[in-house]
Structure 1
């Protein structure tokens, strides 16, 4: 079943918690007990980490748990645990590696094929250990060794079936790890397992490795399909479930958000409606980020929380620049009303970025979210079409939460009519604010206008705009010019020479 769970996964006491952050939400609450599960992935994808977290979750509940290693030594497993700061005292570790005597010439079999003898010996040792521990959770690492010992696909499948029946009768939940090192990936175990999780590791040309998982099947349980980013940190593996906005749908009527600048609010028809998204579009340096910060500061002064995610500008530069315009962020940073986060697209996956935004909304109650900029966000995505799909889900989720979202989009070029954006998100945003350079009287000046607003009426005028040491200044409508958006306006022939461009 691939129908996604709705909202928070149900707290079903019959389901086993995996101990992996975010994974239970994807699995619809956890794992059904007394079943056999398969976790497959290439070496380094995090299979051992996720298995140890599963066992430690059971140990914390007082369950007997057992880890059987067929390929790594106990010292190597202990090294993995030490790297995360874990205590494995509650986990029964059993090593089933071939003994050193197996390398002696006299131990090489001639009448029987080695696989026939070694598989039987390994099975006997395994069953003996299980009888002693009587675990409720057990992990086998890894299936590649059993596959080699079996010798043929028929014996391998029969062996897995026998293990499944044996442990089902003992009320034990089994996790099988497969490192996918076989020349041809077969589907034998996938067809037997109750659920299959695949871990993937992607290595881009630049930046850190990207990891993601997918639930290939889960019999009789609703789960969230598709790929989900995850990360291996000190302390364990953390999964970032794919955002599904429909799970958070709710209707609410909320007042407008003021910018604290009367002329800017007038241009926007009274401010920004809560639960809407606004795209601030313009050339570099026209003031897009400054306008976004102005709304965040206005919210902070009212006692609301804002979160700013900076892709391009360093936080120190942002703080210094704002202080130079009389927009002091420091008091609000100190009391937590403004939260800044530097986003490194080479280190942060798109799924983790969405998880950071959800944390800001749910944990810290952010009512204003600033993403600066879409250009940096695009660099975090492998393909533009995936960016648009994910951005749509994100904006829908934030809108349903009553959050005002400000997206900063930098256009290619500085002046003229041939300005281009790296990704067209204008149809997704509820409002589009355009900032432009234009030339007049031997100076380069700035103008601001609202090109689109779904939330209500707005001014159709183009106003002068300036960033001063006292903050933002939005002037009177530039009615005495035409062609401002071309960058080289001309005086309107039916009007006298223009007065000052800005009302100071």
Structure 2
């Protein structure tokens, strides 16, 4: 039987939560979130009317309560045991355990297991068990003491979480061998920022072992696993494979082969300023007449996007949701923001602009590719048109689609570039790919008229070499 952990996102990884009457280890460096982890676990129990006990070897009860209140948590009904005071060097009987004295060892174990508050406890958090190792001095005694405490609590039906400082020997701490599951709270530096990572190292029940982004928010620890969302992927909708939507621009529809199939991904690639975002705004504007659309913007603010609509299209969106993505902690948070929005708003068109900046939210490019792959699966299952903008940074005379390994997922690929004709620098677009059928295979000039929107010219059939920029 599994019980919920109280950690948002963790139950998904553990396929339901902790096993009842099992013991789990949470480890990490100072300030990594171990105490928060334990508090959330206990507060979840309080919500269910369970008896919850906090045994602290690491912080005073006053410090713990203060920390809980800073998150707005009521911990009044948690039973606290302050072992920090019990082990005070001036007054404690347990400066060091005499490992030749069975009586002294048993007395120490009883000082925890025989506590009145532990009786009939449903959830127990023991914070800072490394202190027991300091007292024991001997690894064999430390392991036997830990094992005795854990076995006692498990036998009484308590689900237990214990915390300790992280060492360099991953998975080799003595406590690792006596627990049923093990988690590590880590920090990883990449792309000029620090990411928080929850490493699921071990589980004796069904779980997804691996690394996951997390953050400490005003609601505590939130984990962001980049894994399939079953509720969206299995959403009961009809087959969209033959239903086209219009872009609202006849020339663009013609270039794409008649429009865009629902449930497909459209990648719009090119250098800065060639009109990628404006193409997305055109499609969103047409969608806005009847349906909800969402744009996730990594570069422009909501005000700037609305001003663009006013200046270029003379239009004010009614059903468009604009999400500014500058302050996201990780690509994991981005993924779950999108998933939650899809469930809440049920949009027909979603834009990510530009996808390149997702790399700044990720430790590896593989995380970006995985995220786009999962979002495409959701789009296909729900009939959403996913528009992805890709900023090309190569020189103007180099043909390069994306540079980040995601063009493989595109069902349609629109490419924009600058061309010089008769001494004038112009913007031109072409459709490189339509996975579902035929499409136009020529460039057209893209012009933008204030108040009139996008103007797409006739096919430039008399020119060759436009793709490379060296036309004749």
The TM-score with structure 1 as length reference comes to 0.85
Describe how 1:272-311 pairs up with structure 2 within 5 A.
272-302=260-290, 304-311=291-298
CA distance in 2 between counterparts of 1:163 and 1:62 reads 24
Change (3 A) 1:143 1:259: same
Contact 2:411/2:433 (<8 A) preserved? yes
Shift of 1:33: 1.2
Shift of 1:444: 1.5
Which one of the candidate residues 343, 351, 373 is aligned to 2:325?
Answer: 343
Give the aligned partner of residue 502 of structure 1: none
Matched, 1:230 2:230: no
CA distance in 1 between counterparts of 2:257 and 2:449 reads 24
Describe how 1:348-363 pairs up with structure 2 within 5 A.
348-363=329-344
Shift of 1:133: 5.0
Change (3 A) 1:182 1:112: farther
Which one of the candidate residues 286, 302, 310 is aligned to 1:323?
Answer: 310
CA distance in 2 between counterparts of 1:381 and 1:132 reads 43
Shift of 1:344: 2.0
Change (3 A) 1:233 1:110: closer
Change (3 A) 1:414 1:467: farther
CA distance in 2 between counterparts of 1:111 and 1:312 reads 60
Matched, 1:479 2:461: yes
Shift of 1:120: 5.3
Provide Cα deviations, 1:457-501, integer angstroms capped at 9, x if missing partner. 2112222211111101112212233333343544xxxxxxxxxxx
Describe how 1:191-206 pairs up with structure 2 within 5 A.
191-204=177-190, 206=192
Contact 2:45/2:52 (<8 A) preserved? yes
CA distance in 1 between counterparts of 2:97 and 2:177 reads 34
Describe how 1:249-260 pairs up with structure 2 within 5 A.
252-254=238-240, 255-260=243-248
Provide Cα deviations, 1:139-185, integer angstroms capped at 9, x if missing partner. 10012111111211111111122112211232211111122258886
Contact 1:226/1:242 (<8 A) preserved? no
Shift of 1:398: 2.6
Change (3 A) 1:190 1:99: closer
Matched, 1:188 2:169: no
Contact 1:92/1:133 (<8 A) preserved? no
Describe how 1:147-186 pairs up with structure 2 within 5 A.
147-181=133-167, 186=172
Contact 2:449/2:455 (<8 A) preserved? yes
Give the aligned partner of residue 137 of structure 1: 123
CA distance in 2 between counterparts of 1:430 and 1:407 reads 11
CA distance in 2 between counterparts of 1:373 and 1:394 reads 15
Contact 1:461/1:478 (<8 A) preserved? yes
CA distance in 2 between counterparts of 1:46 and 1:228 reads 15
CA distance in 1 between counterparts of 2:447 and 2:420 reads 14
Aligned residues: 467
**2:445 partner SS:** strand
Unmatched 5+ residue regions in structure 1?
A: 1-13, 491-504
Shift of 1:214: 2.9
Change (3 A) 1:167 1:362: same
CA distance in 1 between counterparts of 2:460 and 2:101 reads 86
Change (3 A) 1:211 1:110: closer
Give the aligned partner of residue 52 of structure 2: 65
Between 241-250 and 82-91, report the one with greater CA deviation.
241-250
CA distance in 2 between counterparts of 1:110 and 1:374 reads 57
CA distance in 1 between counterparts of 2:169 and 2:434 reads 57
